[in-house]
Structure 1
């Protein structure tokens, strides 16, 4: 597999960096140690470093040979998940309740590998911005960096990002144009009932029963309101209520997420959620408050930049390992907000292992580190030819 020889030569060092990051995971906007390592590495390779963008974000800037004015951004996310790791790896998490269960430690390491290679070779004409983003996991790190002036301070003509993919084979690269990942809303629904003794339910306005009724009704939105040719998901992922066997509580809370690819469908689902909550509140004579928050935009890959990634992938992993007809993913990614500001593309790199991301037993195959780093580096050398 023709990954770049210079990157292959320091692959062991990339593995060491990745495993160190894995052992010391930090969640969104708390990536102090991680961003410090990133900044120190970039500076040691002679790359201009800018810290604190979007909280704990880091941007490295490198100019190539010649006087080219084109600018390209490469982005990696740095945050871990607030969950326990359940592996026996020697480099498993040392911090309870913190785990790189989505492989962002690998993404950070790949971009560091790219930065080192490009700093040593500078075989490109233009400017590269290495964007290390905090808080991708639902906390709005991309929006925080953009709000802090990311693309005003570091203008980009195009931008690229990647993600590991345990659902693909090792060495495969997936890229396709158009809507590639869903938009996401997150919701909290608070039901204010009236508590009573568990043996005297007639004296209550039972929020548990109301929560079950509303939850069941909400499952009809996708199946009975959304156009069946439009993809959508509504998942209730949390139910909170009660503290004793013999007490009907005062309140209950439902939390969850909505995913779709259409702003029209997105608004339709929001409207139906509000109407169902209002109707059930009236029926049971209680108060129900619905809070729906815009978490992620639809991730849209541009045709030109998707083709550029495809062409580069063919040189790195070979024609047979380039996947261009993948189905759009119902998962979401806040790199979407960067792609709304700057044209570009987002792609996936497959690796060994069948455990999905966000599972306590997930592990990243370190053999893909040179592949991801080579993909980023070759994109720069192709799009900014010296």
Structure 2
């Protein structure tokens, strides 16, 4: 029988060969379920009619209900004229680590409470967590722990941070509708391009506390294939908004919405806006302490590094927002190069062993 470290690498080799996009992780889900069945977990498959899996280990004693969450989906790339999926964000690593933890802990069990292993689809779409939550299977969860491998620029192999603070993300898709007219008779029309230009300039008038990291960027503007000598009737634009905390994000969106409405009114166009949001990280101090102790025990004092703040977003934080559970999210040093989401991303595979050991130590602290 393979030992713990051998097993996590065997699983990684298998999952790395079957990268699949969000909500289509069919082979991945099937593989994970087949492994969990070997150990007798109570398994919920096709969670909320998705590819998600939740495996449950119940001590039948009072105590915390703890979730270990791993994402499963891969990313698409245009390769030689066709779409190819690749694991360039480490989700195959995260699922391998979680599966190895599940294998290791089942024989000994937990002393109290309940343990969930959450294999989540569609993190890259930022909707998978909400899908899993909608199943209601995690309503009683009191704690949740996540983990993500990190690039060498942030956290080196042999190190880990007890908290990875993700930013809040909002995407505004705005449809501006004007009145088409001949470019030589623009007074007869209403030009949505002018509205978009005003919005771009108005963004610069939004002022928030400079000590709170934030950004607002227009990432797409499209008027279609209208005639070159005519005002377009319609313009679609996307605005990417990021902010280090949820309260300031709400302020940013209110200010941005006010400016979109004002710019449309000035230019006699109509603005229709849809907003999708992903919350910023919110962690409890006792969970960060538990993660810190686990990292120090596994990697030593030199392996425990300071908490990391990133502009990236993660749908993991819907679990705390929607369920109200305590959370920790470990940044696992893995020397990922050239960087996450690069089509040729590689990392130090021995980091898988560290991830398994850190998870086990945190679980031991909370449940044993």
Q: Given the two structures, how large is their TM-score scaled by the length of structure 1?
A: 0.84
1:14 corresponds in structure 2 to 11
Q: CA deviation at 1:357?
A: 2.0
Q: CA deviation at 1:244?
A: 5.8
Distance 1:103 1:198, change over 3 A: farther
Q: After superposition, where does 1:85-124 map in structure 2 within 5 Å?
A: 96-119=83-106, 121-122=107-108, 124=110
Q: Matched residue of 1:351: which SS? A: strand
Asked if the contact 2:218–2:238 (Cα under 8 Å) also holds between the matched residues in 1, the reply is yes
Q: CA deviation at 1:123?
A: 5.6
- The range that moved more, 49-58 or 305-314, is 49-58
1:141 corresponds in structure 2 to 128
User: Given the alignment, which residue of 313, 321, 339 partners 2:320?
Assistant: 339
1:352 corresponds in structure 2 to 335
Distance 1:195 1:32, change over 3 A: same
Q: CA deviation at 1:173?
A: 0.5
- Is 1:57 aligned to residue 52 of structure 2? yes
- Is 1:250 aligned to residue 233 of structure 2? yes
1:128 corresponds in structure 2 to 115
Separation of aligned partners in 1, 2:149 and 2:211? 29
Q: Matched residue of 1:323: which SS? A: coil
- The range that moved more, 234-243 or 351-360, is 351-360
Q: Matched residue of 2:350: which SS? A: helix
Distance 1:247 1:360, change over 3 A: farther
Q: Matched residue of 2:173: which SS? A: strand
Asked if the contact 1:312–1:378 (Cα under 8 Å) also holds between the matched residues in 2, the reply is yes
Gaps of at least 5 residues in structure 1 are: 88-94
Separation of aligned partners in 2, 1:169 and 1:200? 61
1:38 corresponds in structure 2 to 32
Distance 1:370 1:17, change over 3 A: farther
Q: Given the two structures, how large is their TM-score scaled by the length of structure 2?
A: 0.88
Asked if the contact 1:78–1:135 (Cα under 8 Å) also holds between the matched residues in 2, the reply is yes
Alignment deviations for residues 51-85 of structure 1 (CA, whole Å, 9 cap, x no partner): 12232210111246x9564432111111223x306
Alignment deviations for residues 173-220 of structure 1 (CA, whole Å, 9 cap, x no partner): 11149xx22222221111112334567656653323332331232243
Q: After superposition, where does 1:193-342 map in structure 2 within 5 Å?
A: 193-196=178-181, 204-221=189-206, 225-243=207-225, 246-248=228-230, 249-293=232-276, 295-326=277-308, 328-340=309-321, 341-342=324-325
Separation of aligned partners in 2, 1:282 and 1:11? 58
Alignment deviations for residues 89-126 of structure 1 (CA, whole Å, 9 cap, x no partner): xxxxxx8253333221211111111111112x416423
Separation of aligned partners in 2, 1:171 and 1:199? 66
Separation of aligned partners in 1, 2:228 and 2:213? 42
Separation of aligned partners in 2, 1:368 and 1:277? 46
Gaps of at least 5 residues in structure 2 are: none
Separation of aligned partners in 2, 1:216 and 1:358? 31
Separation of aligned partners in 1, 2:28 and 2:285? 34
Separation of aligned partners in 2, 1:191 and 1:10? 54
- Is 1:73 aligned to residue 54 of structure 2? no
Asked if the contact 2:175–2:273 (Cα under 8 Å) also holds between the matched residues in 1, the reply is yes
Distance 1:116 1:287, change over 3 A: same
Q: After superposition, where does 1:373-384 map in structure 2 within 5 Å?
A: 373-384=356-367
Q: Matched residue of 2:55: which SS? A: strand
Q: Matched residue of 2:83: which SS? A: coil
Aligned-residue Cα RMSD (Å) equals: 2.7
